[in-house]
Structure 1
Amino acid sequence: MNLLEAVRIVAGRELKVKLRDKTFLFSTVFFLLFALGSSVLPAVLASGPSSVAVAQASPYEQKLRDAGLEVKVVADPEKVVRDGDADAAVVDQGGKPQVVAMRDAPGDVVRSLSVAPEVHLLDPDAVDELAKFLVPFMFALVFFFTSLTFGIQIAQSVVEEKQTRMVEILVAAVPVRALLIGKVAAGGILALAQVALIAVVSIVGSQFSDDAGNLLPLLAPAMSWFIPFFVLGFIMLAALWAAVGALVNRLEDVSNAGMPVQLLVMLPFFAVIFLGDNPTAMHILSYVPFSAPTAMPLRLFDGSAATWEPFVALVLLAAAAAGALLLGARIYEGSVLRTNGRTSWSAAWRDRELRGI
């Protein structure tokens, strides 16, 4: 059996097991509901247009209707407001409109009667300040939690196979290296599928927002580049997590053994969040493999990256992912069959005998 066929078999097995895992299914449904709620609820819960009362033959009736307000034509507009049947009333006061309300005048009623000045935008394509904060946060959050969650699950899967002696049966059928690559491939497929589902649900839900038409065209280039960066970044970290699982024999030890890998995920996450408004720092972070999956798409989103830069960063990330696979495979081969306690990284690296299995 060649390596490619072995990887396909291992990946298929991992996918079947994971798709039957209730924890994975529950987390996917939870994230989908969270994404849907985050994009839909603000629009659903937003208050509708104000109801406004006007007298018969009011000169302001049509203007209020054109503004999308609920207009009620009554004999005594002020009385309707006092009775609570309308949010406000518009009456004529010496040829000028007067808004009558109980405590606060509804903003949409006031705006509909105001004369807006001519506006000249110096930078019409500028990104909204709220979007400048939310988009970097969401990119970093997706990569951080996905790589960390699936990475730990890969490590735990390796440990469980060691505890049950299943790994001894598996290495008798397929090459040891195929086990690692198959686990990484399966985890990558599931992670990308989960992220894609969340993105689709978020985009569909955002259609309820009035700002969707302005934000989505700006997000498109960053999102399209985020996919290859995410895949390579995930492969890089997943290979290291698989190696972590091979180093230990108990699930309780995964956290301590994986602390170096956790730091490699956490430090870039906080760096992108806190240094997002520092052009020099973001320029550097967009080329560092562990932060490039979030930093480079963000620079593409705000327009600070040149056309050639994502290609260079992607090549560097691909090289780092290949190096992580080689390192992870060597550590994995040197420790996956050890059952006499936790193995150090250096001992697993030096072990040539088990790596030959």
Structure 2
Amino acid sequence: MTLATDARSISTAQATWLVAERDILSRLRSKAFIISTLILVLIAVGGIVWMGISSATTSGTPVAATADSAEMLPDTEDLEVTEVADAAAGEALVRDGTVDAFVTPSAGSATGVEVVALDEAPDDVTSLLAVHPEVTLLEDPAVPFFLRYMLGLIFGVLFMGITLTFAMPIATAVVEEKQTRVVEILISTVSARALLAGKVLGNLILALGQIVVLAAASIIGLAVTGQGDFVTDFGAPVAWFAVFFALGFLLLSAMFAAAGSMVSRQEDISPTVMPVMYLVMLPYFLVVLFGNNPVLMNVMSYVPFSAPTAMPVRLYFNEAAWWEPVLSLGVLAVSCVIIIAVGARIYENSLLKMGGRVKVREALKG
């Protein structure tokens, strides 16, 4: 895909799309991009299939029981009951390892039954037969920390991984174009702002496309393995995540592009983009490690760099009012406009400056 040679013959919108189309086609022709996408799909589908197989193969603890004692056992999938004619048959199954325990009636037991085992008390059986007192909770049941941890990990890995996959290459591409002087040809054809907008738009389309592919593969995998309930539970949070991701990606990709425009050599890019990398990674670690802290999660829901991860987690657990994601999205949108404007100014003023690293103050002054 080539750009027009007469800058006066195309509008800014056309120039933006030409740059975006060039970047999209370039990435789609890359074997590394295609292979990495396929690997992500295989990992997602493989994890879903493994979950389905694990849930399908999970069986209850095998126990033997006479007809009378079987009626006293709790109706639960945690026990796999085999009825026997008498105590001798039940004890025989215990001795040959067919069952873990034999349950027989006992008038002197509080539960009405006695558990017979071989050489170790079966705690998983006795816990089901124990008499538990009634418990009254003064507040809503607490969400297990592990579940919060896993959700934060999922949304955080998606946001951080896909952002770094598509936004970081913008910075390296800008440096490569400066180092090879290609940028001078591009700027003679399109404006610097159109070049920046095209790069960001092209990579945003690729990132959202990868999310759609992963979501479609996951939905198909869940449906095939009989785990369709997860689609209903995750539907709304994933939809909000996609919207937050789009704005968050625009914000961060503009910062990566601005950082890349400030240097002229690939070896100088790491220290320049490192502050932006921290802005991507730190919120991820905060949400994962402190996902059980409601105050911190509320605050992070309105911080532009952590909202795409924190808000979907809160929405999944119904901890956010209907207006909170709207307000958080508004804060993110305003931040996006401001940072993109600043990033575009740095990009425009630094793009044609060769040699040493351009300082932020110098780039802002122009």
Is TM-score (shorter-chain normalized) higher than 0.5?
yes
1:71 is paired with a residue whose SS is strand
Encode CA deviations 1:216-251: one digit per residue, 9 max, x unaligned: 655444333222111101100001101222222232
CA pair 133-232 structure 1, distance change in 2 beyond 3 A: same
Equivalence for 1:155: 171
Match status 1:79 vs 2:92: yes
Equivalence for 2:350: 335
Encode CA deviations 1:227-281: one digit per residue, 9 max, x unaligned: 2111101100001101222222232222111122123223333443444444444
Aligned partner of 2:242 among 208, 224, 227: 227
- How do 1:100-111 residues align onto structure 2 when only pairs under 5 Å count? 100-104=116-120
* Greater shift in the superposed pair: 90-99 or 226-235: 90-99
Equivalence for 2:50: 41
> What is the alpha-carbon distance in structure 2 between the residues aligned to residue 132 and residue 3 of structure 1?
45
> What is the alpha-carbon distance in structure 2 between the residues aligned to residue 284 and residue 65 of structure 1?
45
Equivalence for 2:11: 2
> What is the alpha-carbon distance in structure 2 between the residues aligned to residue 107 and residue 200 of structure 1?
42
Encode CA deviations 1:291-331: one digit per residue, 9 max, x unaligned: 22223333434444333232222222112212222222222
Contact 1:64 1:109 in 2 (8 A): no
> What is the alpha-carbon distance in structure 2 between the residues aligned to residue 259 and residue 102 of structure 1?
61
> What is the alpha-carbon distance in structure 2 between the residues aligned to residue 206 and residue 127 of structure 1?
23
Contact 1:67 1:112 in 2 (8 A): no
Match status 1:298 vs 2:313: yes
Match status 1:263 vs 2:278: yes
> What is the alpha-carbon distance in structure 1 between the residues aligned to residue 24 and residue 16 of structure 2?
12
Match status 1:318 vs 2:333: yes
> What is the alpha-carbon distance in structure 1 between the residues aligned to residue 303 and residue 295 of structure 2?
13
CA pair 34-123 structure 1, distance change in 2 beyond 3 A: farther
Contact 1:159 1:249 in 2 (8 A): yes
> What is the alpha-carbon distance in structure 2 between the residues aligned to residue 205 and residue 190 of structure 1?
22
> What is the alpha-carbon distance in structure 2 between the residues aligned to residue 347 and residue 229 of structure 1?
32
Match status 1:131 vs 2:147: yes
* Greater shift in the superposed pair: 77-86 or 13-22: 77-86
Equivalence for 2:4: none
Equivalence for 1:354: none
Q: Which amino acid aligns with 2:43?
A: F
> What is the alpha-carbon distance in structure 2 between the residues aligned to residue 222 and residue 24 of structure 1?
27
> What is the alpha-carbon distance in structure 2 between the residues aligned to residue 125 and residue 3 of structure 1?
55
> What is the alpha-carbon distance in structure 2 between the residues aligned to residue 194 and residue 84 of structure 1?
50
2:82 is paired with a residue whose SS is strand
Equivalence for 2:26: 17
Aligned Cα RMSD in Å?
Answer: 3.7
Q: Which amino acid aligns with 2:25?
A: K
> What is the alpha-carbon distance in structure 2 between the residues aligned to residue 325 and residue 212 of structure 1?
40
- How do 1:89-238 residues align onto structure 2 when only pairs under 5 Å count? 89-92=102-105, 97-104=113-120, 127-202=143-218, 213=229, 219-238=234-253
Q: Which amino acid aligns with 2:92?
A: K
Contact 1:330 1:349 in 2 (8 A): yes
CA pair 275-346 structure 1, distance change in 2 beyond 3 A: same
> What is the alpha-carbon distance in structure 2 between the residues aligned to residue 282 and residue 124 of structure 1?
18
How much does 1:118 deviate?
7.2
Percent identity at matched positions? 42
> What is the alpha-carbon distance in structure 2 between the residues aligned to residue 106 and residue 201 of structure 1?
41
TM-score normalized by structure 2?
0.77
CA pair 136-182 structure 1, distance change in 2 beyond 3 A: same
Encode CA deviations 1:32-65: one digit per residue, 9 max, x unaligned: 333344444355346433444456xx33557879
> What is the alpha-carbon distance in structure 1 between the residues aligned to residue 278 and residue 142 of structure 2?
34
Contact 1:233 1:317 in 2 (8 A): yes
Q: Which amino acid aligns with 1:158?
A: V
Structure 2 residues not aligned, in runs of 5+? 1-9
Contact 1:63 1:113 in 2 (8 A): no
CA pair 220-61 structure 1, distance change in 2 beyond 3 A: same
